[in-house]
Amino acid sequence: MLLAVTVFQDNYPERINAVYVINGSIYFSMVWSVVKQFLAPAVIKKFIIYGTDKWREDLLKIIDPSELPAFIGGTRTDPDGNPRCNTF
């Protein structure tokens, strides 16, 4: 696994602009503390991790509300009107 992570981050550094984690659980925190040990600092900087506060305002500054599902503060719904956007 370490080899795969190294190959990916060294050969495809710009595939991901940013990763936003919202309301990450305690399990995520534990896994993240291990995984980030194997990542380059430039890759770690691409992860923006939010707790239970402030994330809506920050996300709406960079993502248009029409692109965010309604259940996380945007206005987008799926064709059935579901705010969780279960179908496309």
- Residue 1 belongs to a domain: yes
The pLDDT of residue 16 is 78
Is 60 contained in some domain? no
Within a domain: 12: yes
**pTM (2 d.p.):** 0.72
Helix (H) or strand (E) holding 20: strand 19-22
| Residue 80 covered by a domain | no
pLDDT tens digits, the chain, 88 residues: what are they?
A: 667 767 777 777 677 788 899 988 899 999 999 989 988 898 899 899 998 888 888 989 999 999 999 998 899 999 999 999 988 6
Count of domains for the chain? 1
In a domain, 38, yes or no: yes
Q: 20: which residues sit within 8 A by CB, 6+ positions away? A: 48, 50, 55, 59
pLDDT of residue 38: 85
Q: Does residue 65 lie within any of the structural domains?
A: no
Query: Is the Cβ–Cβ distance between 73 and 82 less than 8 Å?
Result: no
Q: Structural domain of residue 18, as residue ranges? A: 1-53
